[in-house]
Amino acid sequence: MSTVLWANRLCDGAVVSDQSDKFALHKHLPQLDRIATGLGVPALSSWCDTTDLRFNAEDMSLPDGMTSTDQWMARDGVWVDAGEAARGLSAVLEAVETKRPRFGLLRNDCDAVIAELRESLAFARAAAESAAKFNFSVVM
């Protein structure tokens, strides 16, 4: 079982996830954070919520009245304005597409990073159209 990121939006108290495993983004998050901060945009990790990861790794119980980690994340999770997320993802994507840095020692995951950034950007833009919030959940 691997740890990945999923893109999520929060609108009217409900979480909607793209449920698309973003393995490359999770694996190369520290490098992507350095790129983002170098561009003057928030680090992608600042939008990462660990509710699901903690629930599974620490054998936690859901709060009373809740039936899913999505409900917990909706109430107590890390969220950012989807428009802000879209601007940050767009800046990072443009930098990665232009400079094509190497992601990984044994093989270069640059193409996978670009594909996952594009997918996340499209999801964040759609969330911004509905005035939703955005995050990446760390899923195990």
Number of domains the chain is built from: 1
Kindly state whether residue 18 falls inside one of the protein's structural domains.
Answer: yes
User: Does 36 map to a domain?
Assistant: yes
Within-domain flag for 116: yes
Tokens 């600042």: give the residue: 46
Cβ neighbours of 131 (radius 10 Å): 11
Alpha helices in 12-131 (DSSP H): 23-27, 29-39, 51-57, 69-76, 82-99, 110-129
* Digit-coded pLDDT (tens) for 66-102: 999 999 999 999 999 999 999 999 999 999 999 999 9
Residue 73 CA to its chain's centroid (Å)? 13
Task: Examine residue 65 and state whether it is found in any structural domain, yes or no.
Answer: no
Q: Does any domain span residue 108?
A: yes
pTM: 0.94
**What kind and span of H or E run contains 11?**
strand 4-11
Q: Is residue 72 part of a domain?
A: no
- Residue ranges making up the domain that contains 127: 4-60+78-139
Answer whether residue 68 is part of any domain.
no
pLDDT tens-digit series, residues 59-74: 889 999 999 999 999 9
